[in-house]
Amino acid sequence: MATTVTITNKGLRRTRTGHPWVFDNDLRANESTPTVPSIVTLLDLQNNLTGQGLYNPTSKIALRLLTKDETPITPDFFAQRTKAAVAYREDVVKGYEAFRVIHSESDGIPGLTVDKYGDYLVLQQHSAALEPFMGAILEVLQNHYQPKGILARNDSSVRELEGLPREVKVIVGSVPEEIPFKEGDMTLFAAPYTGQKTGAFLDQRENHVEAGRIAFGHCLDVFSYHGGFALQLAKHAEIVIAVDSSKPALVHIEKAAKVNGLTNVSLLQGDAFSLLRDFVKKGERFDTIVLDPPAFAKGRDQAEKAVSGYKEINLQALKLLHVGGRLVTASCSYHVSEATFYAMLQEAAADAERQVRVLEWRGQASCHPERLAMPETRYLKLAVLEVIDV
């Protein structure tokens, strides 16, 4: 007998929009419902087939839909989806040595992300029911990319919600502490064991290059992390000041600047909010400013406070720009919508008494595709603005 769970009408309405998540309060257990993470068949209240998915009775996201039909969910099922993800990247990542290979639900493999840095792969696996199929997925990745090493960077707290251990371990070959990779003309360094995400912010890779293209004059890069923006700015700038609260992050930038032969990057450690206000008080002016803060809102309940934080840093940045100066400003907080972010920028410009036009509105890199019916996969917002005198 197939293992099954029953979805409520409320949950069914959600899945019919195409969203693949079913929450625990939208499911009812049946006699055959498993008590451990498993592949299950999803039934409606009339016992009609609704789909199949990854089920975990201990998770708030209790079911992650894989298909709406009776296609057998086997290792080959996941092998084929992995091949499709790899094939998609062949079309969109030309010229980049580092990119996302598997982007979870957007590639039909919920709970799994895999990033490639040169000759190495780094993965994060957050779905307990996917565990039995990881061998098939890894086989496809190894056959295609022939990596020197694969690191499982499974130290996220999300793992605990799935009942999985938090661990970081090499599962194939060996993986160094730092991995150099090219992004445009610049060499960056990923920190796969200790860095943010899997070691670098690959969702900004195309935005890094674009920001460098439009940069000029005296530049300020705030929340610099490992220098993805700062190094690109330095190609066209007279000077770049890279600001971060983390000394190890700034050491990373210093090393990368030397490797790339850049002598116009200076480092400043400190709190971004305080430093921006200090620059304003001192009458400093810049031609290009980049703001790429971490997610200020981890949950919906933090959204209001996050918007206040975004407004403050953008307000100060706009005060610091010359007329004709450019602001590249981002938010990776999913719980702050595009409309809210746009409205915040309008308010910041009004309070700063600056006239601003939008040069471009951008999102995450093409290797991080969005799933139309799943707004959670559209999280990165980036505006390129210019201060004007009209």
Cα 354 to Cα 128, 158, 303, 324, 386, distances in angstroms: 51, 42, 25, 11, 10
In our burial notation (b when 16+ CB lie closer than 10 A, e otherwise), range 282-298 reads eeebbbbbbbbbebbbe
d(C-alpha 138, C-alpha 135), whole Å: 5
- Does 367 qualify as catalytic in the annotation? no
User: At how many degrees (to 10) do helices 303-320 and 272-281 cross?
Assistant: 30
d(C-alpha 14, C-alpha 373), whole Å: 10
The closest alpha carbon to 249, from 235, 279, 219, 229, belongs to 229
Q: Which two tokens stand for residue 21?
A: 């998540």
| Amino acid found at 326 | R
Are the beta carbons of 348 and 314 closer than 8 angstroms?
yes
- Residue 364: exposure state from Cβ atoms within 10 A (0-12, 13-18, ≥19): buried
Q: Are strands 286-291 and 321-331 parallel, antiparallel or unpaired?
A: parallel
Helix (H, G, I), strand (E, B), or coil: what is residue 78? helix
Give me the residue label for tokens 């020197």.
148
Q: Which two tokens stand for residue 182?
A: 């090219």
Q: Residues 200, 306, 321, 332: which is the catalytic one?
A: 332
Catalytic residues: 332
